[in-house]
A and B are shown apart, each in its own frame.
Chain A
Amino acid sequence: MAINNIWVFAQASNGAPTSGSLELITKARSLGGSISVWVAGDGNAIAAAVGSYGATKVYGVDYGSNLAGAAVASAMKATIDGGDAPDLVLFPQTYEGRDVMARLSVKVDRTVLTNNIDISVSGDSVSVTTPIFGGNTLVTSTFTGSAPYLAAFRPKSFAPETSGGGAASVVAVSVPDLGATGGAKVTATHVEETSGPKLDEADIVVSGGRGLGESAKYELIESLAKILKGAPGASRAIVDAGWVPYSYQVGQTGKVVKPSVYIAAGISGATQHMVGMKGSKNIIAINKDKEAPIFGIADLGIVGDVHKVLPKLIEALQGR
């Protein structure tokens, strides 16, 4: 068999495919076969963009107020039953990606492999690589049994590159009757606005953690980020504590960032956090505890109190 038909679950933001989606389409080109993209919404909006990365078909699912998970997975299953059966389905490791993947997994009775950073195909065999223990160990797993194989990838695992292809053809797919599984409906959508660059695209990221002591001190992180024209981020500890919204979180459950400079202030460096920022080109850490794991990966580590170091740093940079 070999991999002849690859599906990529893509996501769109403001009418354009996300960089995570384009990464997966790019990687799919190297695996062989044709590439079809699935998107929750109007396929026409992204047909030209995904086509220029190598996709030849876009399935757009008109999912209305349904959640994407049950709606898109049902549409995928109906398409498979209709004769277009994929060998491999790639998902971004995002909220929607995981939901669609999980529902489809049960419908086709095939397992899932998530949190991957690489994939390779050798004949009939598909293997994926997952970092564990904070990225210290890489585990390669091979799918057994028959296709389709379902795999999810962490953002920024691959570099998006255009192929120069023309616009993909668009197929509008309606959502089959979801029965009881369609009981969840979106009634309102809220966008948490942040000024400045987006966390996962910024060239400089300044993150704060529990070492800040109290939520009001997060202001130091925001000021420093602003001066450096970077984005403010956070550890899971202070997101869970309610100091900043979830969208600020860097780490396993949050965003993966790979900026030129990452400044970790008052962050000890739990595995959870390190997975999300280890790929940064340069890491500066400021922490009171000299034994903190974050110093093990820092290019410049300051053992000191963030409440003393940050105000002076901000003042010095402001004067420039």
Chain B
Amino acid sequence: MKVIVCVKQIPDPATPGALDSSSNTLKRDGKLILDESDAYGVEMALQLVDAAGGGEVSLVSMAPNSETAGLRTALAMGAAKAVLVSDPALQGSDALTTAKVLAAAVQRLGGADLVIAATESSDGYTGTVPEQMAEVLGLPSVTFAKKVAIDGGTLKADRQTEAGYDEVTCSLPALISVTAGVVEPRYPSFKGIMAAKSKPVDEVKASDLGITPVGWAGAGQTISNVAQAEARAAGEIIEDDGESFGKIVAFLEGLKVI
């Protein structure tokens, strides 16, 4: 069984985000790490290949500056190889272009039985790229899957809905997006980390994938204004002295909700 996982390398969420002052896009020039949301997809892929009795997990990613730090984390978890699309011309790409680029990277790997993505990235969180990729690739999709199994060549998933969840079956090949928490991602072992250093990363330009134009030139949007939102004033902060519940009761009384 062949599984391809879409992974995003993002600025460390622990450091405050910033916008590039000239382009107004998210700054991604510092150190990038594997988006935590994608660790679930990588783990799911490794488990499904194990359950199928063999196969291979590959990665596709799009990042500036030939960044591979996040990819190495996923390779250390057990993925075999990666295609990295790194091209200055990609800066400013919209969600649709990103989906086309990643879909072309999937095709460069010869396609797969299953493509896995997170539901949305932790930095840009557009939340449409996986489903757009499915449409570009002509695949059926199950988005927002919170439980996934493959049984006799058919995918079975529980898909999150507004009211609860749906049980869904899906023919393969297919694309799924998985919610955080769908599986418990493994920590890379020391052996895995060492092995990851020599695993192949095929670095390509957008033009190698036959995609033009990209970046701002191909985007269907332009940023017209950036403003600070009205700040919410901080209120009264007190240390609990064992009686602070009384403050909450009084606050609720003041609002006439009790």
Contact = CB atoms under 8 A, between A and B. Distances in A.
Interface stretch (B50-58, B204-212, B240-248): B240-248
B146 interface: yes
A137 B180 CA distance: 26
Q: Which of A103, A298, A300 is most buried by chain B, counting CB atoms within 10 A of its CB?
A: A300
B219 A317 contact: no
Contacts of B128: 98, 101-102, 105, 112, 114, 152
A131 B144 contact: no
Contact of A139 (B159, B225, B258): B225
Contacts of A145: 220
A126 B249 CA distance: 47
B240 A181 contact: no
For chain A, give the interface size range: 35 or more
A184 B236 CA distance: 52
Contacts of B235: 283, 298-301
A207 to B, nearest CB: 15
Contact of B142 (A184, A282, A284): A184
Contact of A70 (B94, B141, B225, B257): B141
Nearest to A298: B235
B131 A305 contact: no
Contacts of A228: 252, 257-258
A106 B130 CA distance: 12
Given A183-B174, A302-B248, A192 B165 contact: yes
Interface string B148-167: 00000000000111111111
A142 interface: yes
B234 A298 contact: yes
A317 B171 CA distance: 54
B224 interface: yes
Interface in B215-258: 219-229, 231-232, 234-240, 242, 244-249, 251-252, 255, 257-258
A149 B222 CA distance: 13
Contacts of B91: none
Interface stretch (B41-49, B69-77, B132-140, B190-198): B132-140
Interface in A265-303: 272, 278, 282-284, 290, 295-303
A138 B117 CA distance: 28
Interface in B161-191: 161-171, 174, 179-181
Contact of B221 (A73, A142, A260): A142
A253 B144 CA distance: 10
Contacts of B68: none
Interface string B109-144: 000000000011010011111111011101111111
B85 interface: no
B95 interface: yes
B25 to A, nearest CB: 10
A188 B157 CA distance: 11
Contact of A301 (B95, B238, B246): B238
Nearest to A230: B257
A312 B242 CA distance: 9
Contact of A188 (B166, B174, B231, B257): B166
Nearest to A101: B128
A183 B170 contact: yes
A228 to B, nearest CB: 7
Interface string A79-109: 0000000000000011110110111011101
Contact of A127 (B19, B96, B224): B224
Contact of A187 (B97, B126, B167): B167
B3 to A, nearest CB: 17
A158 interface: no
Contact of B146 (A246, A252, A282): A246
B228 A302 contact: no
B164 A247 contact: yes
Q: Which of A111, A131, A180, A236 is most buried by chain B, counting CB atoms within 10 A of its CB?
A: A111
A282 B249 contact: no
Interface of B: 16-17, 19, 24, 94-97, 99, 119-120, 122, 125-132, 134-136, 138-144, 146, 159-171, 174, 179-181, 219-229, 231-232, 234-240, 242, 244-249, 251-252, 255, 257-258
Interface of A: 11, 13, 18, 67, 69-70, 73, 93-96, 98-99, 101-103, 105-107, 109-115, 127, 131-133, 135-145, 152, 179-192, 203-204, 228, 236, 239-242, 245-247, 252-253, 260-261, 263, 272, 278, 282-284, 290, 295-305, 308-309, 312-313, 316-317, 320
Closest 8 pairs between A and B when the two form their complex, measured CB to CB: A304-B240, A183-B140, A102-B131, A111-B220, A240-B181, A299-B235, A183-B171, A106-B135
23 contacts: A67-B141, A67-B159, A67-B168, A96-B162, A105-B95, A105-B132, A114-B126, A115-B126, A141-B221, A142-B222, A143-B220, A184-B140, A189-B164, A190-B165, A190-B167, A191-B163, A240-B180, A260-B255, A261-B255, A300-B251, A301-B234, A302-B248, A313-B245
Given A69-B141, A93-B127, A300-B247, 17 more contacts: A70-B140, A73-B135, A96-B162, A99-B131, A105-B128, A112-B128, A131-B229, A133-B16, A138-B226, A141-B224, A142-B224, A181-B141, A183-B171, A284-B248, A295-B237, A298-B237, A303-B239
